[in-house]
Amino acid sequence: MSEARNFLPEVETLDNSNVEAAYARWAPIYDLTFDILLKPGRRAAAAAASNARGPILDVGVGTGLELPMFASNAQVVGVDLSEPMLRRAAQRVRRERLGHVAGLVKMDATRMAFADASFGCVVAPYVLTVVPEPEAMLDELARVLRPGGEIVLVNHVSGKDDAIALFEAWLDRHMAPKLGWRPQFPWSIIGDWIDRNPQMRLVERRPLAPFGLFTLTRIQRCTNDTPRKKLPESAEFECT
Ligand SMILES: C[S@@+](CC[C@H](N)C(=O)[O-])C[C@H]1O[C@@H](n2cnc3c(N)ncnc32)[C@H](O)[C@@H]1O
């Protein structure tokens, strides 16, 4: 086993520069490869955003495949780290005359330029497994979200201890930087983040087609009217 390891490539970690490099490679073939496979999650995310009170932020908008799925009376802003992906999204907006898209901006989802509480809903289809620091991204999504609004995530969540989980762990160690995402993504990354943030509550967690490979997660930022989580006695947090 240790000898076999010597033949494997050096393990790199996923960082923004190799994510950008990976999506520069994916951009010309992204729609061909991922349009149909990932459509159910995009539809579910757009449907979950349909009750948003206020503008919708689409984080990691990519080539904009989900943009036509939002209601035509919505106001949607898309951000992405990859210029080649964003260029394709801009072409789609022009080609399909998507008047509800108010802007497309190059921005890192973990450090956005928007003011606190700017959006009524933040959607991130197939993005959380791509960013090197998912917890930092969740912090940032919560910051730009209005109280009462929802974060809507769609991403793969790994199972436990089966053959697929072992394969994902191998892929994760050796291929993540080249693929541009991490194949292994335990639920605890999202679950523990919710537990650490008492102003956030899990509204829905649902497997999606195809084959339950992806999960839709809705997380709400509390208002004074939302039932709060039961807090430990020492917690000082008050929902705003
Ligand atoms: C798998 S694609 C998903 C694109 C689109 N949401 C879809 O459903 O097809 C992931 C996208 O996240 C973007 N991304 C990765 N890291 C990012 C970051 N830190 N900030 C913003 N976008 C990022 C990538 O450039 C890529 O366009």
State residue 2's pLDDT score: 36
**Ligand 1 center to 80 CA (angstroms):** 6
Cα(81) to ligand 1 centroid in Å equals 7
The Å distance, Cα 227 to ligand 1 centre, comes to 32
Domains of the chain by start residue, with CATH: 2-221 (3.40.50.150)
**What pLDDT is recorded for position 175?**
66
Calpha distance 50→117 (Å, rounded): 18
- pLDDT, residue 8, reads 32
Protein residues whose CB sits closer than 6 Å to any atom of ligand 1: 16, 19, 23, 34, 38, 42, 60-62, 65-66, 79-82, 85, 108-110, 125-127, 130-131
Distance 228 CA to ligand 1 centre (A): 32
Quote the tokens at residue 87.
Answer: 């260029």
Select from 36, 47, 33 the least CA-distant residue to 206.
47
Digitized pLDDT (tens) for each residue of the chain, 240 residues in all? 333 333 333 445 678 888 899 899 999 999 999 999 999 999 999 999 999 999 999 999 999 999 999 999 999 999 999 999 999 999 999 999 999 999 999 999 999 999 999 999 999 999 999 998 999 999 999 999 999 999 999 999 987 766 667 666 766 666 666 666 677 889 999 999 999 999 999 999 999 988 888 999 999 999 877 766 555 544 434 443
pTM beyond cutoff 0.85 = yes
Pairing verdict, β 145-155 and 214-221: antiparallel
**Residue 77 confidence (pLDDT):** 98
Structure confidence at residue 181 (pLDDT): 65
pLDDT at 232: 52
Q: What is the pLDDT of residue 236?
A: 39
Tokens of 100: 């509800």
Residue whose CA is closest, atom 27 of ligand 1? 62
Sheet strand arrangement including 200-208: 101-106, 76-80, 56-59, 119-125, 145-155, 214-221, 200-208
Whole-number pLDDT of residue 159: 77
Rounded to 5 degrees, φ, ψ at 159 are -80, -170
CA atoms of 129 and 154, how far apart (whole Å): 10
Using alpha carbons, select from 73, 187, 80 the residue that is nearest to residue 129. 187
